Amino acid sequence: MPTYREYNARLDSMGGMRRVTSTMKMVAASHLHRAQADLRRAEPYGRELAALLTGAQNPEFRRLRLLAEPVEPKNGLLVVVTSNRGLCGAFNANVIRAARRWIDAERPRFHILRASYLGRKGQLGLRKEIEMRGAEPFPMPAHPAANEAWQFARRIHDDFREGRYDEVHLVFNRFVSPMVSRTELDRLLPVRLPPPPAGTRAAAPLCEPCGTPLLERILQQWLAFRLFEAMLHSVAGEHAARVIAMENSTTNLRRLESELTLLRNRARQAAITKELAEIVGGAEALA
């Protein structure tokens, strides 16, 4: 049975861990507040961009490589969006599990299948299942900016236009609420045009100088926005998951501290009782 001093050392250690997890929870909560604000600011731009694309349902635009459905796709790319760090519960594990299921199901369709990573945890979880595009994963910024998403999107766009890949898919965690994140897997390229709103008739847009180059530019912006949106959702979901994980850790540490305090008191009482018994025994022996 541990001694009184050993219990004290354990309690001091747990108290230090509890203070760390409590601090991490407060830091993650502040990051979550900012991530939610960034996500809300980006949503109006996405709606306007989707509204522009609803006018591109013309069949003549289907000849564009960014819109044309591949007949026999040979090469595929999977973009995996995770975090750089752990301590956020099952946040990264859910994305890795969904990506692994998709890889097992879709691998027979492709001659070559590679993965590109936003965040290091995805690469660590899938390095044995799929070949990586490039030398190292693109680090997930703490607060994503549009230009960072554009840099990543331009690499994917150039590879797709040059025929290195026939399909590009995306897997990430969509932030629903601070308690819920939903893992989604969707196709990035070729672009699936958003459907027009029900009960409305999309008017032919007025394009200058002409429709096709402008549509290609809008599609590039749409690709960059889809990646930017996935990054924002992933960051918000990561911070929310870390808040919950640190709250659970703090609660469990408090419970363990209470149990150890009771055991320490019992050990102290047992030591006192033993010392009293030795004193009484010694006194009786001398009498």
- Residue 200 scores a pLDDT above 70: no
> What single DSSP character describes residue 175?
E
Condensed to tens digits (0 to 9), the pLDDT of residues 202-216 reads: 555 555 555 677 788
Distance from chain centroid for Cα 20: 23
Condensed to tens digits (0 to 9), the pLDDT of residues 57-84 reads: 666 667 788 888 877 889 999 999 999 9
Query: Could you give phi then psi for residue 196, rounded to 5 degrees?
Result: -70, 150
Question: Helices 91-106 and 211-286: crossing angle, nearest 10°?
Answer: 130
CA-nearest of 197, 199, 198, 218 to 207 is 218
How far is it, in rounded angstroms, from Cα 125 to Cα 114?
14
Distance from chain centroid for Cα 231: 8
CB-based contact 207:136 (threshold 8 Å): no
Show the domains of the chain with their CATH numbers: 58-193+207-237 (3.40.1380.10)
**DSSP sequence for 255-282:** HHHHHHHHHHHHHHHHHHHHHHHHHHHH
Q: Is 103 helix (H, G, I), strand (E, B) or coil?
A: helix
Condensed to tens digits (0 to 9), the pLDDT of residues 32-42 reads: 999 999 999 99
CB-based contact 236:36 (threshold 8 Å): yes
